[in-house]
Amino acid sequence: MALRAALFDFGGTLLDMQSDTRAHQRAYDALVEKFDLPLSGHDLYEAVQRELEPRQSQPGAPWVSVKDLTHDAVLEVLSSVGHELRMQDWIWFWGAYTSLHRQYLVPISYAAGVLQDAKRLKLHVGLLSDADRESLDVAMDAVRLKPSFDAITTSEEIKRSKPAKEMFLAALEKAGCKPQEAVYIGDSVERDVRGARAVGMRAIHFSTDGCKEGDYCVPSLQLVTKILKELKVTA
């Protein structure tokens, strides 16, 4: 069945996650400096990540916002070093956190190009992300990709995280097409590839470390365009 829609993951597929890590680290450096905390920014970042890991949504789990998760993790870590996280402190930190993400985030190479190629092929171009809308808007403003999408589906909207079928079905409904008429591009085997294939979509696994699953595997987004062209003319 000919292709009508190309749906993309965001973090790790279009967004360079190393830049996301840099933004986080700079935010925690700023928090340490402002309140003269008894640990380095790097150590604070690592401690918060350890708190976040069990709190973050597991595949298919109900959605919780990045902001709420981060607040609770930072509160716990600061309490452990004897610092009370007052509301005004949190408001300041979240402002710095979002500002630094706008400053540091960058797209993966050829992210804009592959989205433009999909538009030239007259495909519906959709985004399907586990991020909440506030965090996603900050990131997309930074990497300037938002105008490329015809529709955006988030876990905040669906109240579930990938690979929940509801996520993919909602994106397909916005695209106005059947699963067999869409392809999903993502970097996670469990959340992206398996989630898409479970509802009958074809999946392109984007990975620079080698692919294990997927109808197609690519180490560069530039190679996605060729696949889209081939699928576009498949009867």
Q: What is the pLDDT of residues 185-221, one digit of tens each?
A: 999 999 999 999 999 999 999 998 877 788 999 999 9
The full set of domain ranges for the chain reads 5-16+107-232, 18-104
Nearest alpha-carbon partner for 224 in 32, 7, 74, 53: 7
The model's pTM: 0.92
Q: Who contacts 12 (Cβ-Cβ below 8 Å, separation ≥6)?
A: 186, 187, 188
pLDDT given at position 53? 83
* Interval 117-133 mean pLDDT: 95
Sequence-ordered alpha helix ranges (H) in 84-178: 87-104, 111-120, 133-143, 155-158, 165-175
Q: Tens digits of per-residue pLDDT, 157-192? A: 999 889 999 999 999 999 999 999 999 999 999 999
**Is the pLDDT score of 113 beyond 60?**
yes
**CATH architecture, domain defined by 18-104:** Orthogonal Bundle (1.10)
Q: Tens digits of per-residue pLDDT, 58-100? A: 676 678 888 999 999 999 999 999 999 999 999 999 999 999 9
30: tokens are 């700023």
**CATH architecture, domain defined by 5-16+107-232:** 3-Layer(aba) Sandwich (3.40)
Tally Cβ neighbours within 10 Å of residue 77. Answer: 25
